[in-house]
Each structure stands twice: as structure tokens, then as C-alpha cells.
Amino acid sequence: MILITGATGAIGSQTARLLLERGEAVRSMTRDPSRSPGGEAVQADFEDPRSLRRAFEGVSAALLLTGFGGRLKEHDQAMIEAAGAAGVKKVVKLSAIGTGDSDDPGDARSWHVPGEEAIKASGIAWTMLRPAGFASNSLGWAAAVRSGGPIPNFTGDGVQPVIDPRDVAAVAVAALTTSAHDSRTYDLTGPDLLSVPAQVSILAKVLGRPLETVEIPIEAAKEQMLASGADPSLVAVAATGWTMLKEVGWPHLSDAVQSVLGRPATSYESWVRDHRAAFS
């Protein structure tokens, strides 16, 4: 049995789908089983150790996924304890590119470090996946695209190697179902370095109509988020990330998708073509 935590999310849902297509036994963990992507649904919460013990019972391998937020360290720790108690043989952790490049708790690049370290100390076989920004983050622009409004750009001309979540999921499946990727840490990127305006111009080409971006100063974006009730510590982390992307970008490509899957990483344009309905 393979447990997928975060099974309703961008990566978990795709990983569950791919595993089910292969005929693997899958248990999909969510707080709301009515949203399960398939397989055996299990209700559990990162905050509830008893529910995690139930979710990990009888599991041989697990995708460990924690939602973005200030409790990531505690959630990782709770899942590692549940996995250890259940005798899980292998965990694949969804981490993030740049993990370990900062030890500032106000910088998201420090957030996955405790979870990665705890897994390595647990004695369970592991693979760390450190993806770049997901193509699916563009779904956050769908309302603006549909209403014809400009798409907010917090990161200027800063580039990042946007990755298709389906590629992250395919690598997760390879790591969950063989031992070939044990003790490996993979930076996962798409094939191209793209700024927000470059992504929007691809979106416009695929949709066949012009789209505009509007640069939002980071201070103004922070004020908007705080005014809408966002957690101040998360706003600060988001602002640190935008500033880094705006000033330096993330100008690195990795060949890990090609080397694990034996095919090139999927382009942003392909992701947009497959999701154009969400923008129409």
C-alpha cells in the first residue's frame, strides 16, 4: 500500500492518479475524503497524531507532503513519527528548490530543512524532491484572465524554471516504486527559465487573445494581503520570496526530470494547452 498525503493537492492528486493507472494499491489522505482523487480514501489531519497513525497503518511507502505554512516542521515531524511507528520502508518528501540556502525562519528556503533532516535520521529509506515553482500556480491568474483584467506581477523580470506538477508526480512515482532513487535529492525544474511576463505571453498565445500584466510593488502587495486578513508571518515569507525572485531570480535548470524519466521536462506551453479550459 502506498500512502499519498496531501492527496487533494497539486502534486498528491497527480501522484495518486499515476499510481492508480499503474495498478498500484493507493491510500489517499485528506481532511475531506469526499475530495479524494481515488484509491482508498483516509481522513487524517497533520495536527492529529492518532489520525496519522491510522493513515500510515499497513503502508509500505509514502509521499510526504506538507502544506505551505508556519507549521510545516511540526507536520513533517508528526508524519515521520507515524511512518516510523507503522514500519514504513520508504518515504518520498516533497520539499522545495533552494532548501538549505537560507537558515532564516522568515525565508521559505529554510522551511523544509528540519523535515529533510528528520527523515534522514529516521532510518527509513528516502528520496527528497525539490521542485521549482509549479506551472499550476498560474491558476491563481484565472479569474483575472477570464474578466479581462491585468495579471498582477510581483516579481518583475525575475525568472524561474517553472515545472509542470505532472512531472514532479511522475518522479515521485519512480521514487515510490523502485529503490533506484533511494538517498537521492533531486532539484526538479521545467525546461525553460520564465518570468511572469514570459508566462503570460505564452498564455496569451495559447488562448489567442492579448493579456496584460501589471507590476505591483512588493510593499503594496504586502499591504493588500494583510488587509485581506493573511497571517503576517506568511506575508513576510511571501515578500522575501518575491524580493529574491525579482532581484536575482532562480536562473538554474536541472536535468533530473530527464535523467529519472528518460524524457525531457514538460514545457509551460504544454501545461497551458492542457489547462486552457480553466482560463476560458
Which of 9, 37, 241, 249 touches ligand NAP (CB under 6 A)? 9
Binding flags for ligand NAP, 122-161, as an x/- string (CB under 6 A): ---------x-xx--x------------------------
DSSP per residue over 15-64, as a string?
HHHHHHHTT--EEEEES-GGG--SSEEEE--TT-HHHHHHHHTT-SEEEE
CA distance 101 to 113: 10
**Candidate ranges 25-33, 54-62, 79-87, 193-201; the one touching ligand NAP (CB under 6 A):** 25-33
Q: Does 106 bind ligand NAP (CB under 6 A)?
A: no
Smaller CB distance to ligand NAP: residue 37 or 218?
Answer: 37
Q: By CB under 6 A, tell whether 99 contacts ligand NAP.
A: no
**Which residue, 9 or 213, is less far from ligand NAP as judged by CB?**
9
Q: Are 109 and 98 in contact (CB under 8 A)?
A: yes
CB of 11 to ligand NAP, least distance (A): 4
Q: Are 237 and 107 within 8 A, CB to CB? A: yes
Stretch that binds ligand NAP, among 16-24, 43-51, 196-204, 216-224 (CB under 6 A): 43-51
* Of positions 27, 46, 189, 191, contacts ligand NAP by CB under 6 A: 46
34 is a contact residue toward ligand NAP (CB under 6 A): no
Minimum CB distance to ligand NAP, residue 266 (Å):
15
From the CB of residue 260, how many other CB atoms can be counted at a distance below 10 Å?
22
Q: Cα-atom radius of gyration of the chain, to the nearest Å?
A: 19
Residues paired with 126 in a beta bridge: 91
> Which residue among 17, 28, 30, 98 contacts ligand NAP (CB under 6 A)?
30
Residues near 205 by Cβ (< 8 Å), separated by ≥ 6? 269
CA distance 39 to 34: 12
Contact map string, positions 65 to 94, toward ligand NAP, x by CB under 6 A: xxxx-------------------------x
Give the distance, in angstroms, between the CA of residue 46 and the centroid of all CA atoms in the same chain.
17
107 binds ligand NAP (CB under 6 A): no
Stretch that binds ligand NAP, among 17-25, 54-62, 64-72, 204-212 (CB under 6 A): 64-72
- For residue 163, how far is the Cα from the chain centroid? 10
190 by Cβ neighbours in 10 Å (0-12 / 13-18 / 19+) ranks as buried
| Residues at the interface with ligand NAP (CB under 6 A) | 6-12, 30-32, 35, 45-47, 65-68, 94, 96, 131, 133-134, 137
